[in-house]
Every structure is written in structure tokens, then in C-alpha cells.
Amino acid sequence: MKALVLESVNTLSLRDYPIEETLGPYDVRIAINACGICGSDVHYYKEGAIGDFIVKEPMILGHEAAGTIIEKGEKVTHLEVGDLVCMEPGVPNMQAHEVLEGNYHLDKDIVFWATPPVHGCLRENVVHPARFCFKLPEGMSAAEGAMMEPLATGIEAAKKARITPGDIALVTGAGTIGSVVALAALAGGCSKVIITDVKQEKLEIIGAYDNVIAVNINSVNMVDFVMKETDGLGADISIEASGSPKVFPDIMNATRRGGTIVMVGMSNDPVPISMPVLQVRGLKIETLFRYTNTFDRAVAFVESGKIDVKPLITKIFTFDQSIEAYAYAAEGHPDTIKVMIEL
């Protein structure tokens, strides 16, 4: 079938790819309608690797997707042909110890789209377990459905933060993940979110939402600003979503004593965490890797109107423009949050 294939570093092709998937009794076959470009996709495209995950042979990209069911297995009862669904891209080994402990996202053998050597879903159709597919409500577009994958990460961050109603949150990084983290924090009970970045264009997009205060730290001291907004106490929760070590130790000094910091962004460089500051301020650190059982919550939040992801979809390409779309995403345009490909 036609697919976007990463042939090697910096080399993409849109071509027929020999891939066949058998439909099992608990599976559905989905015609892909929309697929977002994630930062991980760009890393594989530009660098060929993320940590120990190395692209060694041609690989189909894409893992943020939504599509229409065109066939279903005989045991599938909660979905029907014609349903528009979003898909959780990782399928764990149900015999894994981590799964039994409720941490299926940590299963080392999880089969996750577009994570070497697993092919992604930026192709004409895919077969996926129905258990990891979620029906989208009437009126929600496929592009919005594809946004449920990053939003699921935002909701997981809010869960890790253990928000108390009325909390004030600090989010560092106003890219796709930082933006959905901010929206999830508000939907989860925060009274307001302070979000920081160095790109004014991104800040203006997320800052247009109610109760989001966007701060450009090129011109404003983050700690001073947060302290002023919180009567000198600091943010109740802080969520690091930039992946930049430069936000430390400021993010610790901007978090109230006894508060929680959730680490979402990843960096290959050392992170300068000050143990004295951590201990004296009594801060708790939580880490995040993907999500567990948050896709249904993401859909519910959007259906209820508590979260609107549409303003974050800032550039749309057609499937035939997929190579152009990836080149555009790799350029890091400051006025772009999410690049979406529609099939």
C-alpha cells in the first residue's frame, strides 16, 4: 500500500510498500484519515535515532492518527464499520510483569507505531486491536482525533501532578506537548496555568486560551514572574515540557515548597538538578513516559467542550504532500504547533 517511508536519515519516499496485516478476531482495519507529525518522527527523520531506538532499515513513520473502520474482527462488539476512531499506538505484551502491575506503558516489549523496528501508520490502512481504538463523537474531525495522542500525554502529566482544585500550574515549553499539558492541567482543576517559552508566536497561540498566562522568558525572569503571580509562594505544580536543561534550577525555585515537578520533556544532555534546592524546598519529582488509560479521557474532554484542540492544528498538508510536510516540520517554524497530514 502507499506509505510514507523513512529510507535513511534525511531521505523520505512516498511509495507503495509491501506490508500485509492479518485481521484477527479482536482487531479492526482502519483507513487512515489524518496523522500528526510528532517530534519523535522528526528526530528519526533528521537523526535516525532516539537514544537506543535506531532506524536500521526502511520504516513507515507516524503514530498520531485517526481513521475510519473498514473491517472488523468477529469478536469486536463495541465498534462498527464506518466508525471514526483514534488509536492508542502502543500495544503491550499482556503477559508482561509491568502490565500486571498496571504500568503497561513501561513494557519493554510494547509494540509502538513508528518506533524501530515497528512500522508506523502513515499509510493507507492499518490493522489494530479494537481495545486500543476509541470511537470519536459526532462532529469531531479526524484531525482533532489525531490530536488525542498528544493530549493523552497531557492528561497523563496532569494525573502525575495530582492536581488539587484551584492549583496554579507552571508549564515550561509551549510546543505541542506543553500546550496540551496546559489544557489538561486546566481541565483537571487548575485555576490558571503560566506557560513559558522563548518563541513568541507559539506563546500567542496557547496564550489565547482562557486562564493561560503566556510568558516569554527571553525578556522576563521566570522565577520573579511566577512568584508575583502566586503571592510569593510559587506554582503548586510545575510541568517541564521543553526538554531543555536550561530551565533548571529555575523551575525548582519557581515551585512552591512541598510542590511537585513532573518531568515530561526528554533531553540527552545532563539535567542540572540541585539536590540542596530539591531537599530544602521539599519538592517531589515525577517522571512521565507515554500514558496509561488516558485516550478515553482525552476524547471525553474534547466532547464535553472542556478542551479545544483545534487552535493547536496550525498547518495541514495532504497525504501527497507528506515529504513536504516533514521538511516543514523539521524547520521548526515558530508559528506552528502541530503539523497535520490528511489522507
Residues 144-177 have pLDDT tens digits of: 999 999 999 999 999 999 999 999 999 999 999 9
Q: Under 8 Å CB-to-CB from 169, ≥6 apart: which residues?
A: 161, 163, 182, 185, 190, 192, 193, 194, 235, 236, 237, 238, 239
Do the bridges between strand 133-135 and strand 84-87 make them parallel or antiparallel, or are there none, so unpaired? antiparallel
| Residue ranges of the chain assigned to CATH 3.40.50.720 | 153-287
Angle among Cα 168, 145, 154 to the nearest 5 degrees reads 25
What is the pLDDT at residue 221?
A: 97
**pTM of this prediction?**
0.95
The confidence band for 267, taking pLDDT boundaries of 50, 70 and 90, is: confident
Return the number of other C-beta atoms located less than 10 Å from residue 139's C-beta.
7
Q: How far apart, in whole angstroms, are the C-alpha atoms of residue 310 and residue 329?
A: 18
For domain 2-147+309-342, say whether CATH 3.90.180.10 is its number: yes
| Residue ranges of the chain assigned to CATH 3.90.180.10 | 2-147+309-342
What is the pLDDT at residue 28?
A: 98
**Does 266 score more than 90 pLDDT?**
no
The confidence band for 200, taking pLDDT boundaries of 50, 70 and 90, is: very high
Alpha helices in the chain (DSSP H): 39-47, 97-100, 142-146, 148-161, 176-187, 200-207, 222-229, 250-253, 275-280, 295-304, 322-330
Q: How far apart, in whole angstroms, are the C-alpha atoms of residue 304 and residue 43?
A: 34
For domain 153-287, say whether CATH 3.40.50.720 is its number: yes
**Does 269 score more than 90 pLDDT?**
no
